[in-house]
Copies of this chain bind each other. A is one copy, B any other.
Amino acid sequence: MSSTSDKPGMEDGVHPFDVDTGVEAISEHRFTATTTDRWDALGGGANGGYLLAVALRALGEVMPLPDPVVVSAFFMRPGRHGPGEVEAEVVRAGRRLATGEAHLFQGDKEVVRLLATFADLGASEGRTLMLNEPPGLPPPEDSIDPLAGAPIPGLTIAERVDYRMAKSPGWSSGHPTGEGSNEFWMRFQGGREPDLLSLAFFVDAAAPAVLELGEVASTTVELSVHLRGHPAPGWLACRHSTRHVMGGFHEEDFEIWDSKGQLVAQSRQLALLP
C-alpha cells in the first residue's frame, strides 16, 4: 500500500491510477482493494469517480465481456483511505450484453454499490451519427493550467491529473459566472493514456459545475456513465454543466471527447448540496 501523496509518475512501470485501483481476488467473487489518499477531491475524502473505478475494475474481473458500456454507482457513505473489499458478481450473461453488480466495502461498511452492463465495443457495428460538437477549446498548449497559481490544499487528485482551460474558472477567483458550465482539457500526469476504466473516473474528476452557480461543495448521490468508445491517446476534451438546482439537489452532465474528436463518455449525476 502506498498512501503518501508522493511524486506522480510510474512506480515499477505502473501508473498510480493502476496501482491504486488494483484489486486482488481472495475468492471467486471477492477482492481486496486499497484506497489511497492520492485521489482526494475538494472537501477531502476519496473522489467518487475513483471509488467507482475500484469497484468497476473488480467487476471487470468476473464479467464475460471486456468493456463496460454503462455503469450506475450509488454513493452511500464518504470514501475512506485504507483497505477494503469488493464483492462482484455476474447477474446476467447474454451473447452481446452482460450485466453485473459490485459492492465496495470499507471497514465493514458499504460505501459504493454499482450495476454495470458490459459488451465488446470492438465487435459493435453500426453508423456513427453526432448531433453535437466537441468542446470549442484552444489547443492544450495555448491553454492555462487553472491550478498553476493557486494549488488547493488537500486536492491530491490535482497532483495526478492535468487540467487546461481557455481561462481560469470564475469561481476560482470568487466570481462565479452564473452559467453552470465549463469546458476544459484533462489527462493523467505521467503519460498514462486514457482507457474505458479511467473515463469512468474522469467524468467525476473535475471541480463541480455548480461552483459556477455560487455553491461551494456538492456530494454525489448517484453517477451514471455511458462509455461509448475506446479513447484515442492524448488529451481529453471535456464539457460539463448543471442546469437545474432544486430543493438542495442538482444534476451534473459531463461529456468527454477524445483527441480524434469522438465522444467517448457521457455521464449524469444527481448530487446534494451541503
Q: A interface vs B, CB < 8 Å?
A: 69-70, 72, 74, 76-77, 91-92, 94, 96-97, 99, 101, 110, 113, 115, 117, 121, 124-132, 179-180, 213, 221-222, 224, 226, 228-229, 241-249, 251, 262-263, 266, 268, 270, 272-273
Contact among B77, B115, B132, B179 with A243 in the assembled complex (CB-CB below 8 Å)? B132
Is A115 a contact of B115 with CB atoms below 8 Å?
Answer: yes
How far is it, in angstroms, between the C-alpha of A91 and the C-alpha of B91 when the chains are bound? 18
Smallest beta-carbon distance A99→chain B, Å: 5
A245-B99 contact, Cβ under 8 Å, with A70-B222, A110-B92: no
Which residues from chain B contact A221 at a C-beta distance below 8 Å? 69-70, 97, 117
Is B121 a contact of A247 with CB atoms below 8 Å?
Answer: yes
Closest to A180 in B: B131
How far is it, in angstroms, between the C-alpha of A76 and the C-alpha of B70 when the chains are bound? 13
Is B245 a contact of A129 with CB atoms below 8 Å?
Answer: yes
Which residues from chain B contact A97 at a C-beta distance below 8 Å? 221, 272
| Interface pairs (20), CB distance under 8 Å | A69-B221, A69-B249, A69-B270, A70-B221, A72-B222, A74-B91, A76-B91, A91-B113, A97-B221, A126-B245, A126-B273, A129-B244, A129-B245, A130-B243, A131-B242, A131-B244, A222-B224, A224-B224, A224-B268, A226-B268
Is B115 a contact of A72 with CB atoms below 8 Å?
Answer: yes
Is B247 a contact of A124 with CB atoms below 8 Å?
Answer: yes
Contact among B72, B180, B241, B246 with A128 in the assembled complex (CB-CB below 8 Å)? B246
Which residues from chain B contact A72 at a C-beta distance below 8 Å? 72, 74, 115, 222, 224
How far is it, in angstroms, between the C-alpha of A266 and the C-alpha of B74 when the chains are bound? 17
Is A246 a contact of B268 with CB atoms below 8 Å?
Answer: no
Smallest beta-carbon distance A21→chain B, Å: 22
Is B270 a contact of A268 with CB atoms below 8 Å?
Answer: no
